[in-house]
């Protein structure tokens, strides 16, 4: 997709206004997000990089999600996707790269050297049959921060991070015939500590002075018993059917004893059902 100059100006103006209007809000952390190399040209990526630097915000893009994307990028630029983004100075310690399923060892090294964060979305990739498997061992070897993502509702449905964490570790083991890969603690780190250290307004650890974003889980549910190793239990046994007992956001109680406190859950479900029917019609 080639943007006309007027479209580019309008998109960039809207992006900068959104960042200015929301940057100082407590629970809103705006980023600049050029979609992907096959929908955004060099100029849009470069302007996005300038906005990221000027306003000190993250830059997010989909990268190397499919084999076809890599083939087209190589054909059009002479470079693979990660190499191309690096040539545009997109790989920085403020960059989040979604998917990263079709990359080489050299590209994994580039990501690690630039300290760009990978948002690994295994459940989405498997549902869409993209074929590639993000090389977590190599990314870890080169020091690249890796988090777990879900992608959107169209390509995941459940949006359950526990599910995506379990799929992430099983996919690595299965695809490489090595049950020792991506141990449970690595998955917990990808769900908590790594994004907490990278993303603004987060921490990812339970330590004095950290932002109090915490959930509690009922491990007395039949599916979570017995508990020989709580880390392993959280990764392999916890599912969408395991109730979140409590949820605190910045110290404020959002869910208490499985009851949502900040909104009328039944009303939201009803409105969502009506809206979904209207979409179908």
Residue of 204, 199, 191, 203 lying closest to 57 (CA atoms): 199
The more confidently predicted of residues 28 and 4 is 28
Residue 241 shares a structural domain with residue 188: no
Residue of 61, 51, 58 lying closest to 16 (CA atoms): 51
The more confidently predicted of residues 6 and 177 is 177
Strand, helix or coil for residue 126: helix
> Measured between alpha carbons, how far is residue 276 from residues 39, 159, 193 in Å?
28, 17, 35
Indicate which CATH number applies to the domain containing 108: 3.20.20.140
Lowest pLDDT segment from 44-53, 158-167, 210-219, 267-276: 210-219
How far is residue 245's CA from residue 256's CA, in Å, rounded to a whole number? 6
Residue 155 shares a structural domain with residue 235: no
**Sheet strand arrangement including 259-260:** 214-217, 244-249, 252-256, 259-260
Average pLDDT over residues 237-250: 87
Using the 3D structure, point to which of 173, 206, 239 is the last residue of a domain. 206
CB 134, CB 169: distance < 8 Å: no
Query: So what's the pLDDT on residue 224?
Result: 87
Per-residue confidence at 242, pLDDT binned at 50, 70, 90?
A: confident
Per-residue confidence at 1, pLDDT binned at 50, 70, 90?
A: low
Q: Which residues of 34-58 are buried (b: 16+ CB within 10 A; e: fewer)?
A: bebbeebeeebbebbbebbeeeebb
What are 213-240's pLDDT values in tens digits? 899 998 888 888 899 999 999 999 987 7
Per-residue confidence at 27, pLDDT binned at 50, 70, 90?
A: confident
> Measured between alpha carbons, how far is residue 104 from residues 23, 79, 81 in Å?
36, 12, 10
Average pLDDT over residues 177-204: 91
- CA neighbours closer than 13 Å in the CB half-sphere of residue 16: 13
Using the 3D structure, point to which of 159, 182, 206 is the last residue of a domain. 206
Residue 195 shares a structural domain with residue 75: yes
Residue 128 shares a structural domain with residue 10: yes
Q: Which residues of 227-240 are buried (b: 16+ CB within 10 A; e: fewer)?
A: eeeeeebbbbbbee
Query: So what's the pLDDT on residue 192?
Result: 93
Per-residue confidence at 114, pLDDT binned at 50, 70, 90?
A: very high
Give the chain's domain count: 2
Indicate which CATH number applies to the domain containing 253: 2.30.40.10
Residue 182 shares a structural domain with residue 281: no
Query: So what's the pLDDT on residue 211?
Result: 83
How far is residue 2's CA from residue 8's CA, in Å, rounded to a whole number? 10
> Measured between alpha carbons, how far is residue 268 from residues 152, 262, 271 in Å?
19, 11, 5
What are 7-21's pLDDT values in tens digits? 888 889 999 999 999
Residue 96 shares a structural domain with residue 220: no
The more confidently predicted of residues 258 and 26 is 258
Strand, helix or coil for residue 226: coil
What are 252-281's pLDDT values in tens digits? 999 999 999 999 999 999 999 999 999 988
Which range marks the domain in which residue 269 is found? 212-281
Residue 2 predicted with pLDDT over 60: no
Strand, helix or coil for residue 242: coil
pTM of the complete model beyond 0.75: yes
How far is residue 8's CA from residue 112's CA, in Å, rounded to a whole number? 31
The more confidently predicted of residues 124 and 218 is 124
How far is residue 58's CA from residue 42's CA, in Å, rounded to a whole number? 18
Other beta carbons within 10 Å of 263: 9
For β-strands 146-148 and 59-63, DSSP reports them as unpaired
């Amino acid at each position: 997709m080639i943007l006309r100059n007027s479209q580019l100006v309008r998109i960039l103006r809207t992006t900068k206004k959104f960042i200015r209007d929301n940057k100082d809000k407590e629970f809103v952390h705006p980023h600049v997000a050029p979609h992907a190399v096959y929908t955004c040209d060099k100029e849009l990526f470069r302007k996005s990089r300038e906005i990221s630097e000027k306003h000190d915000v993250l830059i997010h893009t989909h990268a190397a999600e499919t084999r076809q994307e890599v083939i087209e990028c190589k054909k059009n630029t002479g470079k693979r996707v990660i190499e191309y983004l690096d040539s545009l100075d997109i790989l920085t310690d403020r960059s989040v790269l979604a998917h990263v399923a079709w990359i080489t060892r050299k590209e994994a090294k580039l990501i690690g050297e630039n300290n760009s964060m990978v948002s690994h979305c295994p459940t989405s990739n498997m549902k869409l049959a993209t074929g590639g498997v993000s090389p977590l061992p190599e990314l870890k070897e080169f020091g690249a921060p890796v988090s777990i993502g879900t992608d959107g509702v169209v390509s995941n449905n459940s949006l359950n991070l526990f599910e995506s964490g379990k799929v992430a570790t099983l996919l690595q083991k299965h695809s490489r015939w090595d049950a020792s890969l991506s141990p449970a603690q690595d998955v917990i780190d990808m769900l908590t500590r790594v994004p907490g250290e990278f993303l603004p307004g987060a921490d990812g650890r339970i330590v004095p002075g950290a932002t109090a974003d915490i959930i509690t889980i009922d491990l007395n549910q039949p599916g979570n018993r017995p508990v020989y190793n709580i880390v392993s239990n959280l990764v392999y046994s916890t599912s969408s059917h395991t109730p979140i007992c409590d949820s605190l956001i910045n110290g404020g109680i959002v869910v208490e004893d499985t009851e949502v406190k900040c909104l009328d859950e039944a009303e939201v479900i009803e409105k969502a059902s009506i809206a979904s029917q209207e979409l179908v019609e």
